[in-house]
């Protein structure tokens, strides 16, 4: 599925945080160093609007002047990325309830990818965004 408007839901590993919202962008895999460190490999996410969070509130870490990352304080699951001041969240694909109907559409920040893997799936690659 490319950018659409389907309803998505998901949560963290321990279930302390649940969320739901509407998909508003395509799914991308980020290869920048911050995302690799944050997720333990690459960060695959989709943009979601009108997000409703239930259960525990996520903890937020301001990772740069422009962005912050949300996670579960109980189990440590990496859940969200957002531009400071935005009402949209990028939500980790791995924490979505299945079936998602989502297909990865592109790779971003590939100029900064790790040296331990190749990108060989034929999807578009953007070196800087």
Return mean pLDDT, the chain: 94
**CA–CA separation, 102 vs 71, rounded Å?**
22
- 4 or 53: whose pLDDT is higher? 53
Which tens digit of pLDDT belongs to each residue from 46-104?
999 999 999 999 999 999 999 999 999 999 999 999 999 888 999 999 999 999 999 99
Question: How many H-runs (helices) and E-runs (strands) does the chain carry?
Answer: 1, 9
Range of the domain at 84: 7-118
Q: How many structural domains does the chain have?
A: 1
Is there a domain that residue 126 lies in?
A: no
Q: Do 45 and 90 contact (CB within 8 A), yes or no?
A: yes
What pLDDT is recorded for position 1? 42
pLDDT above 70: residue 122: yes
Is there a domain that residue 129 lies in?
A: no
Q: pTM for this one?
A: 0.91
**CA–CA separation, 42 vs 33, rounded Å?**
9
DSSP 96: B
What CATH number is given to the structural domain containing 97? 2.170.150.70
pLDDT above 70: residue 3: no
What pLDDT is recorded for position 101? 93
pLDDT above 60: residue 120: yes
Is there a domain that residue 128 lies in?
A: no
Is there a domain that residue 125 lies in?
A: no
**CA–CA separation, 56 vs 60, rounded Å?**
12
What pLDDT is recorded for position 129? 84
């Amino acid at each position: 599925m490319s950018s659409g408007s389907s309803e998505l839901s998901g949560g963290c590993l321990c279930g302390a945080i649940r969320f739901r919202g509407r998909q508003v962008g395509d799914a991308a895999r980020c290869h920048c160093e911050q995302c690799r460190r944050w997720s333990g490999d690459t960060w695959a996410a989709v943009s979601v609007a009108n997000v409703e969070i239930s259960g525990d509130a996520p903890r937020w870490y301001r990772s740069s002047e422009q962005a912050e990352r949300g996670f579960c304080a109980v189990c440590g699951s990496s859940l969200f990325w957002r531009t400071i001041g935005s009402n949209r969240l990028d939500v980790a694909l791995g924490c979505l309830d299945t079936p998602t109907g989502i297909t990865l559409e592109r790779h971003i920040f590939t100029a900064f990818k790790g040296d331990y893997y190749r990108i060989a799936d034929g999807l578009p690659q953007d070196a800087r965004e």
